[in-house]
Amino acid sequence: MSKQHSEILEEYLNILKSKLPSWNLQEMDKTVEEIRTHILDLAEDLAGDDPVTEIHIQAAIDEFGSLEDIVNDFNNIKREKEPLDSGDGLGQESTFDSKSFLTLKQEVLQLVREKRKKQIYQVVEWILKGDSKMTKEERYSLIGEVFMANPDYFMDKIYKKFQKMLLGAYQLNPYDLERYLMEKFTLIPGEVIQTSFQGKLQLSIHVLKGRFYVTNRRLIFHGEIKESVAVLMFTRFMAQALEAAKEEVQSLQIAMGPKYSEKPCFGFQYSLENGHNIRVRNNRVTFNIAYDFQKKYTVKRKEVKVKISVEEPDLTKQLQTIQMLTQILQN
């Protein structure tokens, strides 16, 4: 990157740093570095095989959002890290300790049925803490029951908060929990998790960045979902872009086939079956998924183009993951 491009990014980050909430210096530096990496990734995606230019950097900064929106987001995150109020119902640890596992389970499921999000956060935060008297198996199992009680509500409203809790000092690995829940509640017969990796998946409308789990049939994703830079560059066509995004999601669900609707998906799922036109370049695997669907009285052929970037710091694991993805796609 040229000095000019670097100055554009540094000026943006310096202004942002001066406006972010007053965390400790180490946390502040870590946050700014994560934002820098994210913007550079977006710029590289926009540039493709060409060198990154000032236009790409500026487009990536614009995509990341206004300074006001970002500061508001971080203020919300900071508030979420503060202790929750005791609230009503299941709201105090002494109450939790006095209940049997079965009673606690029944009351938590009632909270899910009533969609009492704040109380669900409180009880699950206590469940995740290392000082609760439940075993890890019991804690994981109870969270799985919460998920199964209302999968859509759990994934849309609850799980993001859980992920932040798990990254705290609760002595539990978020990826360990995710894998447990997928294997116990969501995999179909004959399906097994082969590996997992940090990375990015890019479709024509969306960019997904986070943790991916590879089974012998599909890719399951947990992380951040954003519109692609290419779409955001044409904001005057946002209404059309949103319609295209809905069509893209619907296409991916059709591509998965009816067998995957028998159980809820713990995350977002993408088919690895019927992949073709497979291309591998550095840490990226690009391929197409083809499927037939009924449209009125005729059968139409649909193509979905997918680009997966494996971003593991361990180059050996990165190579092994790319080889595994390619092998599954070719079978």
State which of 168-172, 239-243, 320-324 shows the largest mean pLDDT: 320-324
Distance between CA atoms of 179 and 103, rounded to whole angstroms?
26
Reading phi first (left if > 0) and then psi (alpha if -120 to 50, else beta), residue 325 is in alpha
Q: Could you tell me if 133 and 169 lie in one domain?
A: yes
Q: Could you tell me if 105 and 209 lie in one domain?
A: no
Please give the single-letter amino acid code of residue 238.
Answer: M
* CA-based nearest residue to 211, from 260, 174, 248, 165: 174
State which residues form the domain around 67. 3-81
DSSP 157: I
User: Worst-scoring range by mean pLDDT, 33-47, 125-139, 160-174, 287-301?
Assistant: 160-174
Q: What percent of the chain has pLDDT over 90?
A: 8
State which of 94-98, 218-222, 271-275 shows the largest mean pLDDT: 218-222
Q: Could you tell me if 157 and 200 lie in one domain?
A: no
Confidence tier at 144 by pLDDT (50, 70, 90): confident
Q: Could you tell me if 173 and 203 lie in one domain?
A: no
Domain harbouring 300, CATH code: 2.30.29
Q: What is the pLDDT of residue 214?
A: 92
Whether 313 is in a domain gets the answer yes
Look at the chain and report how many structural domains it folds into.
3
Q: Could you tell me if 229 and 283 lie in one domain?
A: yes
Q: What is the pLDDT of residue 164?
A: 67
